Amino acid sequence: MADAARYHRLQRRLSLLGFVVSAAYLLALLFTPEGRVFARWSAGAAESRWAQVGLVTVVLVGVHTALTFPLGLIRGYWLPKRFGLLHQPLGGWLMDRVKAALIGSALGLAAIEMVYALLALTPLWWLWTSAVFFVAQVALAAVLPMWIAPLFYRLTPLADARLGERLLAVARRAGVEAIGVFVADQSRKSRTANAAVVGLGRTRRIVLFDTLLSDFPPEEIESVLAHELGHHVHGDVRRGLLVNGAVRLVTFWLAALALDAGVPLFGLDGRADPAGLPWLALVLVALTLVRLPLANGFSRWLERRADDFALVTTGDAPAFIAAMERLGRLNLAEPSPSRLRELVFYSHPALERRIARARASLA
């Protein structure tokens, strides 16, 4: 437990440092003469608007990536390895990061190009941007889990037929028809364990990390799965998309006001000037920070309901508690973070609280 506290303290400090580096970088681009020349130059070095936006994005994001890469390496690889959470070789870890970065940059670049195309077209760009993002997110939520998982994991059908039957029975009891149970080879990378319900309709399947299979007795696996089924039955993905969409609409509206205010402030050639990208990024980062506690509060509410669903579905609170304790040890979770830290940073209720709630259901 001392290990968990130390691990999270180090991670928190590094994440704060990363935030300071990113903010300082954006502020330097905006408020130092060299930074403004750099942003102006990278925005002006191409002919068409598409190329300008692409170039300024690639240059500014590229420098940011180079600045923050060492921190990412420490936070994502070195620390987890030191604390025994990760045993993936560096080459494989880097390859996973490259794949994630390629997918992320392709989507990110497309998004920024679209935002600037709309910025040039209409003052209501924030409304259209929110609408397009919403549609894109819905489409991605439908297909990404099935496309992405095979890029990072080898998925094989569960060999243990008895366990498979048992888990499908839990799914049926929860009212979810799944086509089968698959295993992802997480143990190649890490000891952390989880389960998921992915896909829609006829492609819906249960995916278990092999770490869950090797370390957890069947009744605990049922509890973990029942929690995931809870998300599925409650339509949490759909609910999340709707709430996200509404929050994003407000975010972009505020960003539009800030961007217009930034035009005279930073000597921009109108709101669609690609040299304004650092300002737009800074505003969006600030707005994201403001909504972080709200988003996490919403997420903790969904997680509590999924826990309750799991307890009702399995009727086995002791197995749920045992699974939580085991997951906490494996994932090096902080059992009882301060209330304030939980409110701001935690997407799941603190372990201690989840266990207390399960105990209370026994009474």
Binding region for Zn ion (CB under 5 A): 303, 306
CB 307 to Zn ion: min, Å = 8
3 state SS of 216: coil
CB 167 to Zn ion: min, Å = 17
CB 161 to Zn ion: min, Å = 27
Of the two residues 40 and 357, which places its CB atom closer to Zn ion in the complex? Answer: 357
Strand order in the sheet with 205-209: 155-157, 181-184, 205-209, 195-198
Q: What tokens were used for 264?
A: 């005279």
Of the two residues 256 and 306, which places its CB atom closer to Zn ion in the complex? Answer: 306
CB 306 to Zn ion: min, Å = 5
CB 347 to Zn ion: min, Å = 9
For residue 191, how many other CB atoms are within 10 A of its CB?
19
Of the two residues 183 and 306, which places its CB atom closer to Zn ion in the complex? Answer: 306
Of the two residues 122 and 347, which places its CB atom closer to Zn ion in the complex? Answer: 347
d(CA 299, CA 303): 6
Question: In this structure, which long-range contacts are made by residues 60-67, counting pairs with CB atoms below 8 Å and at least 24 apart in sequence?
Answer: 60/29, 60/277, 60/278, 60/281, 61/105, 61/108, 63/25, 64/22, 64/25, 65/101, 67/21, 67/22, 67/25
Of the two residues 181 and 327, which places its CB atom closer to Zn ion in the complex? Answer: 327
Place of tokens 């609170």: 317
d(CA 218, CA 129): 46
Of the two residues 306 and 323, which places its CB atom closer to Zn ion in the complex? Answer: 306
CB 302 to Zn ion: min, Å = 7
For residue 19, how many other CB atoms are within 10 A of its CB?
14
CB 303 to Zn ion: min, Å = 5
Full DSSP string of 115-154:
HHHHHHH-TTHHHHHHHHHHHHHHHHHHHHHHHHHHHH--
Cα separations (Å) of 192 from 261, 286, 324? 46, 32, 12
CB 155 to Zn ion: min, Å = 20
Of the two residues 178 and 255, which places its CB atom closer to Zn ion in the complex? Answer: 178
Q: Is 262 exposed, middle or buried (0-12, 13-18, 19+ CB in 10 A)?
A: buried
Of the two residues 283 and 327, which places its CB atom closer to Zn ion in the complex? Answer: 327
Give the CA radius of gyration of the chain. 23
* HSE (side-chain half, CA atoms, 13 Å) at 110: 8
